[in-house]
Chains A and B, each alone.
Chain A
């Protein structure tokens, strides 16, 4: 069939070649061509038309020019679980040698960016300390050791060299010593054992900068079992602490905080709480939370404990030794009565490292029948295994040249040992010394070789914080540098083909699999354990149980009067008591130097993490330094003010330090934090403070953590500007903090709620109120639960990409933390001396209050800060041009300004802003530019993620879907976040609690952050007076 022909015009039909040529062209005619070939026939209009077109076209084309393109390479083979922008969480374990936490690591596109608590853990579930949160930054530290240094240049060298050396030493019958921090990992302990079997002459020594060797040895002496009891602060109704900062730094603060707060939140239905008495030398975090706090000289701690022992012994009808020292107002006698009344429900702890003192503490707890109740040595804690004496012995061995090879792993004695010179000289006599480190340390510099090991986020491992509790460590990123795991090196040295992953798995499958019935196959058990991160048997293993001790209470339940004939036998303590009485007699007028750990810095192993350096100390609010906290009395005697400089001279210690006149420091005491003055460390920790470890006394082979008879003198004419974030200490009698005593609790809260109701009645609004049809996000903070530990501050910094601004900027008052913890002192108004010497302390976390009538919102000229339909006060960084009017008009002063370009590496060297360091940034949160205001967003990115997750599952949003970084990881569970429009949410219940109030409610800015009244459990006679 012949097809029809269609044509458009005559030329088309006739197939005109000229027409065909035209048809091929895209444009009808080239205007330029036409004009040029026109031989002057073009008009002015033509010219303008062409000219205009050209100009317009070039402008459009110029606008289309390419901006530099950065290519994001897609995966060639996409890993099964990695989806761009979807985070994966891996269960793991954080243990830095002193703090333990079971954690979940948030991994985005293969990069760990945030560490949060693992709720499955019964030990630390619900909380993560500042140090735990900050350890993710450590991973990306530019100062990390990237390849072997010293005697060995490559791994092949190292391994072959080491095994040759070890073999020859072992064959000659020489001595090999492995010095580690506490090894929590049962599989590693087994592996070290295997290593010792392979190389005869090997001994494992545990060295800890902050050991619990006093407690370990005391229990050994008393029960024949060297163990650190597991403490149960939740079961204690009366808690007495002697220089034991159990909420801040002592043994396992996250765990203890979690336990402690369970009895600290009275309500209308249950107006009860535990009573906490802290006797201490320096105002610690724990002391700040105590109901009663008494200053005590560290050099007299033993004498006070002896006195308490005697008071209780008198009641128990046991032997009384005498030689103790009472506290002012016969306080210990009263305390003994209180404790006696709470037998089996009390707990006395001491931070002393002196075994003799700890034996008295053991005796006290025994007489109070607390063993098996509030503390237990049959499910012991493995968190502190170091015994000072053993390391002392090692140093003596090294000095005499008996040690042929020494390994250091996870410890830094060259920095933290009390006698650094002795150690250095001793180490020189060891022919082969190797340090296994993530980053170079003082110790690794002294060793013949340093081998880089993996960060915990790159490692496999397990941990056993207490008998019956296990958790796993799994790598969340492949090694960033040419590093290996310490355990893999040991395995290679003992000649095993297996890697540590296999070894670990085998250990779990053989040792732990048998202890459960849930899973039939070992593989399933292993996978499930990895997924959960923890495995809890709840009881010791059979081998551990074999060593169980029956703690007989010193006497059976008898009244003190009837006890005379059945007097408990504590006569073995007579000698101990005599030693303690002599050692802690104390001399009036002598000045004590008390060493303490800061909550953020601990023993200084994380000194290169700028987040921790910049974290304000909960008590002094100072950052980036250690300093001499002097008592009010010393300050008066030497005419000292905060910012002056003093010289402290003691045995083995002679340093100048800036001064903070710290309320609550015992009158004849000056306290200095350890963990500073690192000499071999990256840029953040360099030249920060002075090392106080050498000042500590060594008495009978124990590091006591204080020195007595030090000389302190003012360095005239010298001042040092400390970087302190809060310079005003009292609340000025303003109703910002609401507090009462337990006795007045019901009456007080009734009045408070009446006052609030009256305020509400008179509320008038200038602007129409926001409608809240959907969610209405809000937060509540229980001032009674909040211990002020500051974990939230660092968690927030990690979640929200908050830059570190450095010492100088903080001196100028420009810290950028979105969240701060205000610390206020108070005391009986009639006694200003007391206020200086021993004030009460209250903490108040403060962040953007997301006011419904936000004063910041109506003053911004460009609407850069606006209200969301869900009750958030939102800051649009892009829109902000930095008038700072909003910050001025914020009654809570929570808005933070980017005064400088804090991401500029040139000026802020300690910030991790290189290509590796930037990997820690949360991709869901904008990095703010210079000149922009920022503030707490209620972790809006987490809210969005939570809403999406609920939507994807097609269910209603629950509390557990949406947690801000601070509320998620608060060890005390003091921060509750949620939707007040949801009647089932925890926050709605909080909102209607009788203790709830809002800060500055009278301004009618309608804040969304509720606070709950602080209650102190004072003894009755005092409450009656108040």
Chain B
């Protein structure tokens, strides 16, 4: 199979198939490291804070927050949109990049999908948490009931949200799980503990690695990738409808769907980078998540960062060009009103700092990438804050203009979501293969330095001992 010599290898360290399995499964078999324990302790403590803050909100009422008569949403929906946005990278990597045959996705897709699942789990809670009477949340579903002709409102974007997000969550979860089955089987075959063995056995659904298994696996993956691809675009489009279909200046904008999708991909990749830079270091997976991987993602950041930058500019221009005084004021207020700092944090984190990625040395420096990814996370959180709060706090009638200040409870919930997220992620890296073993192996031949340098070290390959996963790429080299 031909591989361009200018493409750098995606798996380095001259790995054999055995080593790949060994390296990736190591965290599952070993005792947790001190770093892991410390990280887990901290993040579960913060997750506990989340539980407390939410419980306090449920007991007291939404009055526990800093919202008021004019600003009815702030941290709650900011967090919601933020986490939904984070949840975009996973499916984008696994579905769209799969369809585009981007091999580098194999190193990061598992973790990215896990991140998606966890982010969506957090995001899904916010429609519930932000409700005045959360115990009635089930009314959001079109359930047959005995209240006469009482039904949900199919005109409400909030209802579309529920459908869009639950669909997205279901498909993402399925997609992730299907991908995990062969790897669970691998772990099942290696694990020692009785209970763990039983668990992995159950989880691997009787996978035996037969050709039929692989063939079905491949078709299901492809179908799900096909289903998931439009969802990547639709979820955030629909989330943006919450705002775009309203009448509030600053919300009532046709640019929102593409702008939100680009922003979501941007923030998703930001979070993937935050996680991967640390994970590859702590779990010693530098050979699988190479600098090349990081660079590829940095390029995505650069591209999507400029997309959102274009959106910011377009919004401003249209507000000016529309001649609509409310629109004009809303955007002037964003940039120069009392919340100017949040707008400029957003612009500098999302548009200005990613421009550093034009430099190759910066794209290939994990430390810098990590810091930049944090900026992206911060910037994208503020983007949602800016859209929600600055539009609401000064809308049509100046008599209702007001300032919004978050309460401690809201801050705790916001911080707490990160606790929940990292707790889940840390559990994930201890129990799941962090990298899709089977998929990495599938690109070994074409994209690892093992095979690149086959002529020099043919002896390192032991065909007898290594099971070779049959992938479409193997079967139909023409597709590769």
Given A846-B397, A901-B61, A930-B132, also A860-B246 (CB < 8 A)? no
CB distance from A850 to the nearest CB of B (A): 16
Q: Pick from A42-50, A476-484, A820-828 the stretch touching chain B.
A: A820-828
Which one, B61, B152, B245, B247, contacts A863 given CB within 8 A? B152
Asked whether A889 lies within 8 Å of B398 as measured between CB atoms, the reply is no
In the bound complex, CA of A812 to CA of B405 (Å): 9
State whether the Cβ of A728 lies closer than 8 Å to any Cβ in chain B.
yes
Cβ-defined contact, A889 with B62, below 8 A: no
A770 CB to nearest B CB, Å: 14
Whether A893 lies near B156 (C-beta < 8 A) is no
List B contacts of A1005 (CB < 8 A): 247
Contact B247 A931, beta carbon cutoff 8 Å? no
Interface CB pairs A-B, < 8 A, 23: A728-B399, A729-B398, A730-B398, A731-B398, A734-B325, A812-B66, A814-B63, A814-B68, A824-B399, A858-B153, A859-B155, A861-B159, A862-B140, A863-B153, A881-B134, A882-B133, A883-B132, A884-B67, A884-B130, A885-B156, A897-B67, A897-B69, A900-B63
Given contacts A728-B401, A862-B153, 6 further A-B contacts (CB under 8 A): A728-B394, A824-B398, A882-B133, A885-B72, A891-B248, A932-B132
Q: Return chain B residues, CB-CB under 8 Å to A919.
A: none
B140-A861 in contact (CB<8A): yes
Docked Cα-Cα span, A920 to B158, in Å, equals: 38
Which partner residue on chain B sits nearest A1005 by CB separation? B247
Q: 8 Å CB contacts to A: which residues of B127-174?
A: 127, 130-134, 136-137, 139-140, 150-153, 155-159, 162
Contact residue among B69, B152, B246, B401 (Cβ-Cβ distance under 8 Å from A889): B246
Contact B400 A855, beta carbon cutoff 8 Å: no
Give chain A's interface residues, CB within 8 Å of chain B.
726-734, 736, 809, 812-815, 820, 822-824, 844, 846, 855, 858-863, 879-885, 887-889, 891-893, 895-901, 929-933, 999-1000, 1003, 1005
Complex CA distance for A861 and B68, rounded to whole angstroms: 21
Contact A863 B395 (CB under 8 A): no
Chain B neighbourhood of A929, CB < 8 A? 133
Q: In the complex, which residues of chain B have a beta carbon less than 8 angstroms from the beta carbon of A726?
A: 399-400
Report Cα–Cα, A895/B69, bound state, in Å: 7
B402 nearest CB neighbor, chain A only: A813
User: Do residues B153 and A861 form an inter-chain contact, with CB atoms below 8 A?
Assistant: yes
In the complex, how many residues of chain B place their beta carbon closer than 8 angstroms to a beta carbon of chain A?
51
Question: Which residues from B are CB-within-8-Å of A820?
Answer: 399
Residues of chain B within 8 A of A881, CB atoms compared: 131-134, 136-137, 139-140
CB contact under 8 A between A884 and B70, given known A861-B159, A930-B61: no
Interface contact B247-A889, CB-CB below 8 Å: yes
Chain A residues with CB under 8 Å of B131's CB are 881-883, 931
- Report chain A residues within 8 Å CB of B157: 859
In the assembled complex, the CB of A839 is this many whole angstroms from the nearest CB of chain B, namely: 14
Residue pair B398, A855 in contact (C-beta under 8 Å): no
10 closest A-B pairs by CB? A882-B132, A931-B132, A813-B68, A899-B63, A822-B399, A900-B63, A884-B72, A893-B400, A931-B133, A728-B401
Assembly CA distance A931 to B58 (angstroms): 10
Q: Are A888 and B325 in contact (CB under 8 A)?
A: no
| Whole-angstrom CA separation of A137 from B140 in the bound complex | 40
Interface class of chain A by DSSP = loop
Q: Does B118 contact A (CB under 8 A)?
A: no
Q: Which of B127, B139, B392 has the most chain A CB atoms inside 10 A of its CB?
A: B139
Q: What's the least CB distance linking B56 to chain A, in Å?
A: 12
Contact at B153–A732, with CB atoms within 8 Å?
no
Residue of B nearest to A1003 (CB): B247
Chain A residue, CB-CB nearest to B392: A888
A860 touching B156, Cβ below 8 Å: yes
Q: Which residues of B contact A809 (CB under 8 A)?
A: 63
Does B60 interact with chain A (Cβ within 8 Å)? yes
Given contacts A883-B158, A884-B72, A900-B61, contact A862 B396 (CB under 8 A): no
Nearest A residue to B157, CB-CB: A859
Interface residue from B60, B73, B150 paired with A879 (Cβ < 8 Å):
B150
Question: B83 in the interface, Cβ–Cβ < 8 Å?
Answer: no
CB neighbours (8 Å) of B134 from chain A are 881
Contacts of A883 in B (CB 8 A): 127, 130-132, 158
Residues on A with C-beta less than 8 A from B159 are 861
Asked if B269 CB lies within 8 Å of chain A CBs, one says: no
Determine the chain A residues whose CB is within 8 A of the CB of B153 once the complex forms.
Answer: 858, 860-863
Q: Taking the complex as formed, is B370 at the interface, i.e. its CB lies under 8 A from any CB of chain A?
A: no
Report the nearest A residue to B396, measured CB to CB.
A891
- Within the complex, the shortest CB–CB distance from B67 to chain A, in Å, comes to 7
The smallest C-beta distance from A610 to any residue of chain B, in angstroms, reads 18
A885-B158, A897-B72 are contacts. A728–B398 as well, Cβ < 8 Å? yes
Provide the residues of chain B in CB contact with A895, threshold 8 Å: 69
Chain B residue with Cβ nearest A876:
B150
B396 touches A892 (CB 8 A): yes
**Contact A736 B133, beta carbon cutoff 8 Å:** no
Instruction: Tell whether A734 pairs with B398 under 8 Å between CB atoms, given A859-B158, A898-B132, A899-B61.
Output: yes
Q: How far is the CA of A736 from the CA of B329 in the complex (A)?
A: 15
Contact B325 A931 (CB under 8 A): no
- Complex Cα distance A980/B72, Å? 33
Among B139, B162, B329, B397, contact of A893 (Cβ-Cβ < 8 Å): B397
Give A932 to B402 CA distance when docked, in angstroms: 21
Contacts of B151 in A (CB 8 A): 863
Which residues of the partner chain A approach B248 to less than 8 Å between Cβ atoms?
A: 888-889, 891
Is the CB–CB distance between B133 and A893 below 8 Å? no
Question: Can you name the residue of chain B whose Cβ is closest to the Cβ of A809?
Answer: B63
The CA of A220 and the CA of B241, in the complex, are separated in Å by 74
Task: Verify B60–A900 contact, CB threshold 8 A.
Answer: yes
Give the Cβ gap from B391 to chain A, nearest Cβ, in Å: 9
- A814 with B246, Cβ < 8 A, contacts A846-B399, A858-B155, A861-B162 known: no
Q: B152 to chain A: which residues have CB within 8 Å?
A: 861-863
| A884 to B66 Cα, complex, angstroms | 14
Chain A residues with Cβ below 8 Å from B127 are 883
Q: Which B residues lie within 8 Å of A846 (CB)?
A: 397, 399
Kindly state the separation between the CA atoms of A861 and B156 in the bound complex, as whole angstroms. Answer: 5
In this complex, what residue of A is CB-closest to B155?
Answer: A858
Asked whether A888 lies within 8 Å of B402 as measured between CB atoms, the reply is no
Residue of B nearest to A901 (CB): B61
> Contact between A931 and B396 (Cβ–Cβ < 8 Å)?
no
Q: Which B residue's beta carbon lies closest to that of A885?
A: B158
Residues of B near A727 (CB, < 8 A) are 401-403
Bound complex: CA A846 to CA B397 (Å): 10
| Contacting pair B69 A884 (CB below 8 A) | no
Chain B residues contacting A901 (CB-CB under 8 Å) are: 61
Closest to A999 in B: B397
Q: How far is the CA of A755 from the CA of B411 in the complex (A)?
A: 48
| B61 touching A823, Cβ below 8 Å | no
Q: Shortest Cβ distance from B251 into chain A, in angstroms?
A: 8
Interface 1/0 per residue, B103-126 and A, CB below 8 Å: 000000000000000000000000
- Contacts of B155 on A, CB cut-off 8 Å? 858-859
Give the most central of A727, A732, A861, A931: most B CB within 10 Å: A861
**Structural contact, A897 and B398, CB atoms closer than 8 A:** no
Contact, CB under 8 Å: B158 / A931: no
Q: Is the CB–CB distance between B247 and A891 below 8 Å? A: yes
**Which residues of B in the span 17-74 have a Cβ within 8 Å of any Cβ on A?**
60-63, 66-73
Q: Which of B133, B162, B395 contacts A932 (CB 8 A)?
A: B133
Q: Is the CB of A888 within 8 A of B73?
A: yes
Asked if B398 and A732 sit within 8 Å, CB to CB, the answer is: yes
Taking the closest CB of chain B, its distance from the CB of A759, in whole angstroms, is 14
B401 touches A880 (CB 8 A): no
Give the most central of B137, B396, B400, B403: most A CB within 10 Å: B400
What is the bound-complex CA distance between A726 and B403, given in angstroms? 11
User: Which of B71, B162, B398 has the most A CB atoms < 10 Å from its CB?
Assistant: B398
Contacts of A1003 in B (CB 8 A): 247, 396
- Distance between A149 CB and nearest chain B CB, rounded to angstroms: 39
Q: Of all chain B residues, which has the CB nearest A823?
A: B399
Q: Closest chain B residue to A887 by CB distance?
A: B72
Complex Cα spacing A1010 to B81, Å: 38
A889→B70 CA distance, assembly (Å): 10
